[in-house]
Amino acid sequence: MWPSMFGPGWGWGVLVTSAFLFIVLGILGFLFVVIYGPPRQAEESVEHLWHRFEEGDLTRQEFERYRRAGRARLSAREAHK
């Protein structure tokens, strides 16, 4: 009774439809994680900057400029919360 109700080959239709649905949901889930996931570690920590300064990779002025920029980003981020 049931197979004749849905027509011949309805099993393959359900299989293809569910596969398509899982692919679409997987893509949407991936985009959700990329957009709303935790931010990547793009900023350099003060310890890392200090290490670079001690090694001679940064001058004092560069170290201070990076540190001020980091503070400004942090205060701007807290202001938006």
State the pLDDT at residue 31.
95
Higher pLDDT, 9 or 66: 66
Nearest of 63, 66, 15, 78 to residue 42 by alpha carbon: 66
C-alpha triplet 43, 32, 30: angle, nearest 5°? 100
pLDDT (tens digit per residue) in 41-62: 656 677 888 888 899 888 999 8
Give the separation between CA 60 and CA 45, rounded to whole angstroms. 16
> What phi, psi does 35 have (nearest 5°)?
-80, -45
Share of the chain above pLDDT 70, in %: 85
Whether the pLDDT of residue 1 is over 60: the answer is no
Q: Which amino acid is at 49?
A: L
Q: Are 70 and 46 in contact (CB under 8 A)?
A: yes
Which sequence spans correspond to the domains of the chain? 44-81
